[in-house]
Chains A and B, each alone.
Chain A
Amino acid sequence: MKTLVCISKAPDTTSKIAFTNNNTAFDEAGVQYIVNPYDEWYALVRALEIKESVGGEVTIVTVGPNEDDAIMRKALAIGADKAVRIDANPKDAYFVATQIATYAKTIGFDMVLTGKETINYNGSQVAGMIAESLGFPLISLASKLDVEGTTLTLEREAANGVEVVSVNAPIVVSCAKGMAEQRIPNMRGIMAARTKPLEVIPPAACDDLTTFATFGSPLAKSEVKMIDPNNMDELVALLHNEAKVI
């Protein structure tokens, strides 16, 4: 299997979320970036397991500026064979998907894996957009992926439970919990990652379909109202009369 894994960065969850430039841009000052957990724990690790069992090659791709080399080296340390960075600031999901699809077409992959969503903008859009651009089927929100020859068996989230589906490569898969377990890079992996190829390519032309006009932070919660643990009737009354949720 020739596999492409889409890797994006995400602010560490303890990062302070603030905005700058008149609330039009995310304030990156002091923000620690990690590999988006869905991309790392589920997409990348499963791609590596499949390579280990049936052979092939795992390439990672990131659309981002040169600071992103750090998270790409981490993904290489976990075991990816090579990395490609498309040198541009990701403007929106359509931009990211167009870049990745354009690159993928020039190489030809059997599988393109993404995470189920980025934890910063939570769009769940990129995978479907890549699939449409490549004309591949998409298995969205997959929690299991097995390969036999060119046939893939997957489990995916469906409206009425979990569906077991079968489909032929080439495909795009967005990966969710269950797909694989986290792998901690070892010293050998970290050393090897330093010398693995990391190619940087220019972005393709792309229309601007959407723009984030402004950002804001939710209003702070009002003070918590403490209820006497012996008086649960009061809590129920408040939930009914004041909060109006029951």
Chain B
Amino acid sequence: MAVVVLLSILYPFLKKEDNKILVFAAVSLSDPLKEIKDIYYQDENINIILNFGGSQTLASQISKGATPDIFVSAGISPLNFMKRKNVRFADSYFLLSNKLIFASDKQIVDWDKKGIEEIIKSEKINRISIADPELAPAGEYTVQAINNMNINTFIEKKIIKAKNVRDAVNHMRLGLSDAVFAYNTDFNNYKDNYNKKFISEKLYNKIQYPIIIFNNHDQVDQFLVFLNSDRARNIFEKYGFSKP
């Protein structure tokens, strides 16, 4: 009852706005998408509403009835989850890709010359944070890379698992671990002293960010064209994302 009364009072404020696009995106995309939103609003006067969260959380919100126009997921598993739940969408393709890195804030001599194996064996690296492969896609890629490098025997004792890749990075920054396997883009905001090494892309499956389109009307199509333009690409690349 109270809700009905309230809704009728607030009706004029709740009327659906036309000039807007609701975008769900993985938190890791916050910085580049915010920049894109601002530019797009200036140019086209269309309001991009950004909702950030963990990709899997967003996917289950969608399966429970949330209705974004577009969803950019970090990794393919939330997309597969939605397919299993029979969520209907118009189209999907890969928008971006990311890279796996190994980083440490410990001072290690000749970081650049040494291989990852040698660094991990060093006595300064006692604990290494990774994202839990059962909970986060980053963890799956990390485990693939570790297996393919054939270093699991001596790395196993040093590993601590975090619930997602961002927490793994925070572990290292709080001194709970000495090194971390994470995405290249996880370090954008950190000015602290740390060294990083890219892990050869042959060692793990390609890390791809699918974009899923639910609403195929003109406004959305126009925004998708912009997302794929060089201008938007340059912004994504500035923050460490690459082409798919």
Q: Report whether chain A binds chain B.
A: no
* Residues of A participating in the B interface, judged by any CB pair closer than 8 Å: none
